[in-house]
Amino acid sequence: MSFQEEFMRRAIACSCENIKLGGGPFGAVIVKDGKIVAEGANKVTINNDPTAHAEVMAIRNAAKNLNDFNLSGCEIYTSCEPCPMCLSAIYWARIDKIWYANTKTDAKNIGFDDSFIYDEVKLPLEERAIPITQLLREEGLQAFKQWEQKEDKTEY
Residue 128 phi/psi, 5° resolution?
-75, 155
Residues with a catalytic annotation lie at 55
| Angle at alpha carbon of residue 22, lines to 25 and 105, rounded to 5° | 20
Q: Residue 78 forms beta bridges with which residues?
A: 28, 100
Nearest alpha carbon to residue 15 among 107, 108, 92, 85: 107
| Angle at alpha carbon of residue 68, lines to 65 and 69, rounded to 5° | 115
Nearest alpha carbon to residue 112 among 23, 28, 6, 7: 23
Between CA 72 and CA 95 the distance in angstroms is: 5
